[in-house]
Structure 1
Amino acid sequence: MSSENPGFSTMAVHAGAAPDPTTGARATPIYQTTSFAFRDADHAAALFGLQEFGNIYTRIMNPTQAVLEERVAALEGGTAALATASGHAAQLLIFHTLMRPGDNFIAANRLYGGSINQFGHAFKSFDWQVRWADAFNPSSFEALIDERTRAIFIESLANPAGTFTDIAAIAAVAQKHGIPLIVDNTMATPYLVRPLEHGADIVVHSLTKFMGGHGNSMGGIIVDGGAFDWSKSGNYPMLSEPRPEYAGIVLHQTFGNFAFAIACRVLGLRDFGPSISPFNAFMIQTGIETLPLRMQRHCDNALAVAEWLKKHEKVAWVSYSGLSDDPNNGLQQRYSPKGAGAVFTFGVKGGYEAGKKLVETLKLFSHLANIGDTRSLVIHPASTTHRQLSEEQQIAAGAGPDVIRLSVGIEDVKDIIADLDQALAGV
């Protein structure tokens, strides 16, 4: 890129990429290989000892993956990134780097159902304890902090409710207590919200969703904000203490403002192995090239659909932050003036059974467990993604019995509304 301060759309197309130096290929090649040849024995030793950057084995790093990482880091304003097999894999590597048995972290109660399940159940096997705070009440996070708290986790735009979180207020709590703030930015993407600019320390994505944008490839990513002091408190020994597997290197001392991304790669990805495939990395970085165009269309369509649903006689309520009278509209205007995203919820009169009937009657909408596709998608969370939760937990997560979640696509909005109209007529 020739500009010193390229715009978002320019970075979405060019960041991290250049014509292939060997073949001249303009599109990033898919380096479909398991391993990479060393120049000599000294080169191999330097790579394994973290004394030189380079490719060893695709489980740890791959040139196609590297372009994706640099591109997302640039879009988020971070110092470095690590791509993984999925968003869940990215979260596992983050907490493995931060936590020790008996440690706890605080999470907002407005989260994707899979994250609630991962935090509340799977993480117990590591003796990592989650404490749930009220996403709408920043002081509730502070009330749960103790000497074993190692992080705060929130979503910038909560799934499935589509509500914005006051990132800066919660970041202030995290900074006061010297713990990092992790923000899942999957639903907003950096086109709408850049959490690092509001005080976040780490950003995580399911690249499977809006970043890739076409519903064809799985991936996740961790973005290092580069501002957190991992050595100050002594609570993050993976970064602040000598690593015996690397001849006593102290990662924070050695790698500075991108040490967290390095730690996730060489201490987590290396051993757990949830690597993104070169093909998926290629597909996702190609999808990112159209991210700003897609996200704006998603937002424009979603607002039109929400306004139409709000007037429908069979709809009990609509929760979309882009509506001027929505309680969350102030936060949307503050954090995401370009739009309120593509995902929101509404309640259909008739409750649980009516909700199931509606999703079964839609035709243009695809009934599946995903968001962020070019296609319009629908799901009834209480019977699917949030089924493992009690009704009380479902309601707290914004996924009560009557809730329908839409991920509004980029089709002609008149066709999206027509499909909803015919389906509601049958409820």
Structure 2
Amino acid sequence: MTGFATQQLHAGSPASRVTPRALPIYLTAGFVLDDFDQAVDHFSTGDGFSYTRVANPTNQAVEQRMAVLEGGAEALLLGSGQAALAVTILGLLQSGDHMLSASSIYEGSRGFFVENLPRLGIQTDFVKDANDPDAWERLIRPNTRVLFAESIPNPKNEVLDIAAVAAVASRHGIAFVVDNTLATPYLVRPLEHGADIVIHSASKFLAGHGAVLGGVIVDKDADRLAYLRDSVALRFGPTPSPLNAFLINQGVETLSLRVERQSANALGVARWLEKQPEVLSVDYPGLESNSYFELAERYLPDGTGSVFSFTLRGGIDEVRRFINALEVFTHMTHLGDVRSLVLHLATTSHNLRTDEQLEEAGIWPGTLRVSIGIEDLPDLVADLERGLTAVRG
């Protein structure tokens, strides 16, 4: 008989031939290798599982689902959206290379391009009008290797003409990477319009409940994705927990239901805000008055998303009174939650920008970003009215 310490480690074994309906959580650092020959085969071919940093059945199931939903060949699940961006860019570029990015993008992505990549010898230029193919053409160099943009840019919602930018990338043999976080594959699938790689912050709409972090890369080229997995992600190690993968998968199972409701709520909120005298402008492409309305109809027929910005006529004092009066909207830095969220950009996510940079980006002292949730629309409108009442007072 073995001793107590041995028994507490080895007694009992998983039930065999059990098939759960929900995705199992393989919460383990490593996997038992059946025998010597199977270990040799695994390390030679990559088949099977040995260590979660390399592959995990729970994570793999989410990858397969996301590849199908985005219409890609393969997908890679990572620990955060920033990890998805970093692994993609570091896998495509090396010292001496150049990339182009749309200027209207998530502030964390912009910081990565401006502050981190130059230390690696990689330079980035920004295209102000992302829907002008000539603007991209003029900035392409012989060493340009990547074009980057967001399908629905955060926070100004200038809907991207994906096919137009993809055509430029294709003519020059350049990889076109699209961040599809705010649109999700339910609203648009960039690979179908010519993009090469799609990335997501899975922390947002895919997970949906603001509980976990995650990132996803989906590539139309299986070999390129294999390189990102084996030679970049494996070395840098931004491995997601299988528990996080399980929760992301739970969110993905209701993605269309949530995004449909959120988009409908967002349109209702935007239409209401547009009529309020205290509101200077509403940046929502679902509005007929928005300059991106026709493009949104082309790319986003099932809804125009639920993250957008609007600008109060007043300044910081009015914004403070507005936010502090809200009771249904949650004041926090996040997006894609089932709950509605609000944030003042100039003093939070964009607080390191100069006044000139903020003005160029169309972010004013009164600009607020909202992420609309699945609450009852009348309650959201009543809460915003509560905020505007505080502004009037």
**What TM-score do you get using the length of structure 2 for normalisation?**
0.93
Match of 1:207 in 2: 202
Deviation at 1:43, TM superposition (A): 2.5
Match of 1:291 in 2: 255
Picking from 332, 341, 354, the partner of 1:377 is 341
Q: Which amino acid aligns with 2:173?
A: G
Equivalent runs, 1:344-383 vs 2, <5 Å: 344-383=308-347
User: Aligned partners of 1:102 and 1:73: how far apart in 2?
Assistant: 31
Match of 1:58 in 2: 52
User: Aligned partners of 1:385 and 1:22: how far apart in 2?
Assistant: 50
Counting matched residue pairs gives: 376
**2:264 is aligned with 1:300:** yes
Q: Which amino acid aligns with 1:426?
A: A
Match of 1:239 in 2: none
Equivalent runs, 1:203-282 vs 2, <5 Å: 203-226=198-221, 258-282=222-246
User: Aligned partners of 1:359 and 1:21: how far apart in 2?
Assistant: 55
Structure 1 353/142 Cα, relative in aligned 2: closer, same or farther at 3 Å? farther
CA contact (8 A) 1:183 1:195 kept: yes
1:382 is paired with a residue whose SS is coil
Picking from 373, 384, 387, the partner of 1:420 is 384
Picking from 51, 71, 79, the partner of 1:77 is 71
Structure 1 26/379 Cα, relative in aligned 2: closer, same or farther at 3 Å? same
Match of 1:410 in 2: 374
User: Aligned partners of 1:312 and 1:113: how far apart in 2?
Assistant: 29
**2:12 is aligned with 1:48:** no
1:424 is paired with a residue whose SS is helix
**What TM-score do you get using the length of structure 1 for normalisation?**
0.86
Q: Which amino acid aligns with 2:79?
A: A
Deviation at 1:398, TM superposition (A): 4.0
Q: Which amino acid aligns with 2:88?
A: I
CA contact (8 A) 2:258 2:374 kept: yes
1:338 is paired with a residue whose SS is coil
Deviation at 1:400, TM superposition (A): 3.1
Deviation at 1:278, TM superposition (A): 0.4
1:159 is paired with a residue whose SS is coil
Q: Which amino acid aligns with 2:203?
A: T
**2:119 is aligned with 1:155:** no
User: Aligned partners of 2:114 and 2:360: how far apart in 1?
Assistant: 15
1:274 is paired with a residue whose SS is coil
CA contact (8 A) 1:138 1:169 kept: yes
CA contact (8 A) 2:97 2:144 kept: yes
Deviation at 1:141, TM superposition (A): 1.2
User: Relative to structure 2, which stretch is displaced further, 269-278 or 32-41?
Assistant: 32-41
Deviation at 1:42, TM superposition (A): 3.1
Match of 1:99 in 2: 93
User: Aligned partners of 1:388 and 1:136: how far apart in 2?
Assistant: 27
Match of 2:115 in 1: 121
Give unmatched runs, 5+ long, in structure 1.
1-19, 227-257
2:139 is paired with a residue whose SS is coil
CA contact (8 A) 2:79 2:215 kept: yes
Larger radius of gyration: 2
User: Aligned partners of 1:39 and 1:415: how far apart in 2?
Assistant: 57
Deviation at 1:319, TM superposition (A): 1.1
Picking from 22, 25, 28, the partner of 1:30 is 25
Residue by residue over 1:15-66, the C-alpha shift from the partner in whole angstroms, topping out at 9 and shown as x without a partner, is xxxxx983221101110100012223333233323x2422121112111000
Structure 1 136/403 Cα, relative in aligned 2: closer, same or farther at 3 Å? farther
2:147 is paired with a residue whose SS is strand
**2:74 is aligned with 1:110:** no
Residue by residue over 1:249-275, the C-alpha shift from the partner in whole angstroms, topping out at 9 and shown as x without a partner, is xxxxxxxxx012111111111110001
Match of 1:391 in 2: 355
User: Aligned partners of 2:96 and 2:319: how far apart in 1?
Assistant: 41
Structure 1 27/398 Cα, relative in aligned 2: closer, same or farther at 3 Å? farther
1:286 is paired with a residue whose SS is helix
